[in-house]
Amino acid sequence: MSFTIPTDWKSVNWWRNRSPEERFFHTKIPTRWDNFNFDTMTIDPACSQEITTWLKEYTLGKNLFLHGRTGVGKSVIGQALLKRLVLNKPLSGRFVSSDRYIEMLKDTFESDSGLLPEMYSMPYLLKYISGVFDIVILDGVGQERETEFSVHEIGSLIRRRYEDSRSTIITTSLAPMDFIRRYGDRVKVAVMDMEKIKVS
Amino acid sequence: MACSYSLQDMNILRRSIRLLLDGGLTRTTVRQMIDKFFSNDKFASADSPVLMFSSKSVQETLMNSVEISLDDGTNPIMMFMLNDFTRGSLELPWGNSDDEMLKETVMMRGMDICYRYPELMVEVIEKFVGDFENPWFLTTIDSLNSLVRWHITDEEGDHSTDWLNILQSEIELPSELRSNKKTKLRQASDNIASAIYTYRRLTRIR
């Protein structure tokens, strides 16, 4: 199913008021995970219980920090959570990897408006990610190249969404303490406040 | 790919692995590091893979890409920090109810110490076991952290109060931290596992 991608500015409510299918379409969850949902996933029972509880108790603004070593299924779980939430609640969401986010930011450098250039179908995407979408999965945080710029921007995004009470699901191979060490004081309170689940 | 190693290579390799194990890394971790090493074309095709593997910076890169586990000789408080403040089967000298408070305290106030001198954080915690509510507990951590920051930043200012606080808590500082001039401190690690490994490796060598 395909939907029109808006090129003009849309409000928080506009995004929330789309049909569940359209909200799901705009999450841009990679198609390779089309068949992965909670019913088909094999996860450690204790971890599964924690995730189910988080989902059951979810309220707008609740955050989740999924950590664990590479290949254990953090991203798969993250996307399944996003899918479940946007299909069952009037919430908008987006899946974005941290390196893609940094790449998009760099692509705005040459535009005076601060918007994404023409090669992107949604010029306001970065603004939606930072301050409009109800739930954002920031995937693979820590895998982007570590530069002062990337550390600052990822940290700012996490903090801004936290302060605005918008939900962020972080997937990372960094343990919470190492995560704070990398992204600095800016993310300290936000990360401390997040529900943390170690995926194994 | 077939490789042959000279006797000298073998000795260097043996010593490197010995150092890694003496630093507290488990055999599984070392094995994972070796696998990672050979899965990286740049490393594997180096003129001397042995010398490449023995380089400290390469080992750091490898350590950042595997899940580090440390052996049973590691201080339980360090293990507690390493396990993301989850006690599991660790025997710790305080009740479970203090775990969360310690996690918050260390993460909110003691990050600059932990990633350079994890042993100092352990010493403070050990000193205040059973008395975490004593205001000196937080004061000592704050002072230690602020002393480390004074050394690593351009910050001027008087740090004699921090000094006195640490002195009063009877925490033994390494010589570089006792210096009145800004001194080069132990390199900060990227992750807590590597900070603990560095500490253990340094104390074994001394």
Q: What is the mean pLDDT of residues B98-124?
A: 96
Contacts of A177 in chain B (CB under 8 A): 81, 84-85, 106-107, 111, 114, 192
Is the separation of the CB atoms in A94 and A132 below 8 Å?
Answer: no
Pairing relationship of beta strands A135-141 and A93-97 according to DSSP bridges:
parallel
Q: Report the pLDDT value the prediction gives residue B170, as an integer from 0 to 100.
A: 92
Q: What is the DSSP-derived secondary structure letter of residue A66?
A: E
Encode pLDDT of B68-107 as tens digits: 888 988 999 999 999 889 999 999 999 999 999 999 999 9
- Closest by Cα among B56, B18, B91 to B198: B56
Distance, in Å, from the CA atom of A97 to the CA atom of A9, rounded to the nearest integer, reads 23
How far away is chain B from the Cα of A170, in angstroms, using its nearest Cα?
A: 17
Is the separation of the CB atoms in A97 and A126 below 8 Å?
Answer: no
Mean pLDDT of all residues in chain A?
92
Nearest 10 degrees: Cα torsion B85, B90, B91, B97: 30
Identify the residue whose tokens are 């010493």.
B123
Percentage of residues of chain B with pLDDT beyond 90: 61
User: Which amino acid appears at position A47 of this protein?
Assistant: C
Q: Report the pLDDT value the prediction gives residue B37, as an integer from 0 to 100.
A: 93
Is the separation of the CB atoms in A63 and A162 below 8 Å?
Answer: yes
Encode pLDDT of B136-172 as tens digits: 999 999 999 999 999 998 878 888 889 889 999 999 9
Is B46 at the interface with chain A, CB within 8 A? no
Residue of B nearest to A197 (CA): B84
Residue A64 burial class via C-beta count within 10 angstroms: exposed 0-12, middle 13-18, buried 19 and up: buried
Distance, in Å, from the CA atom of B90 to the CA atom of B70, rounded to the nearest integer, reads 13
Is the separation of the CB atoms in B124 and B169 below 8 Å?
Answer: yes
pLDDT classification of B2: cutoffs 50, 70, 90: low
Identify the residue whose tokens are 């951590």.
B141
- Phi and psi, residue A64, nearest 5°: -140, 135
B107 vs A69, A174, A180: nearest CB: A180
| Strand partners for A167 | A135
Per the CB < 8 Å rule, is A178 touching B106? no
Residue of B nearest to A190 (CA): B108
Q: Report the pLDDT value the prediction gives residue B206, as an integer from 0 to 100.
A: 44
Exposed e or buried b per residue across B65-85, where buried means at least 16 C-beta atoms within 10 angstroms of its C-beta: bbebbbeeebbebbbbbbbeb
Nearest 10 degrees: Cα torsion B122, B200, B65, A68: -30
Residue B1 has pLDDT above 60, yes or no: no
Distance, in Å, from the CA atom of A61 to the CA atom of B88, rounded to the nearest integer, reads 30
Q: What is the DSSP-derived secondary structure letter of residue A140?
A: E
Asked if the ipTM is above 0.95, the reply is no
pTM (2 d.p.)? 0.87
Is B150 at the interface with chain A, CB within 8 A? no
pLDDT classification of B36: cutoffs 50, 70, 90: very high
Q: What is the mean pLDDT of residues B56-66?
A: 85
DSSP chain B: ------HHHHHHHHHHHHHHHHTTB-HHHHHHHHHHHHHSHHHHTSS-HHHHHH-HHHHHHHHHHS---B-TTS-HHHHHHHTTT--TT---SS-GGGHHHHHHHHHHH-HHHHTT-HHHHHHHHHHHTT-TTSHHHHHHHHHHHHHHHHHHSS--S--HHHHHHHHHTTPPPPHHHH-SS----PPPPSSHHHHHHHHHHHHHH-
Distance, in Å, from the CA atom of B76 to the CA atom of B86, rounded to the nearest integer, reads 11
Distance, in Å, from the CA atom of A196 to the CA atom of A181, rounded to the nearest integer, reads 16
Residue of B nearest to A200 (CA): B67
Distance, in Å, from the CA atom of A102 to the CA atom of A100, rounded to the nearest integer, reads 5
Collect all residues from A whose CB is shorter than 8 A from any CB in B: 69, 174-178, 180-182, 188, 192, 196, 198
Identify the residue whose tokens are 């820590």.
A142
- Closest by Cα among B42, B34, B33, B13 to B193: B33
Residue B205 has pLDDT above 70, yes or no: no
A180 vs B81, B85, B111: nearest CB: B111
How far away is chain A from the Cα of B152, in angstroms, using its nearest Cα?
A: 15
Residues lower than pLDDT 70 in chain A = none
Nearest 10 degrees: Cα torsion B185, B190, B194, B196: 50
Q: Report the pLDDT value the prediction gives residue B3, as an integer from 0 to 100.
A: 63
Per the CB < 8 Å rule, is A181 touching B111? yes
Distance, in Å, from the CA atom of B29 to the CA atom of B62, rounded to the nearest integer, reads 10
Best of A177, A179, A192, A199 to disrupt the B interface (most B CBs within 10 Å) is: A177
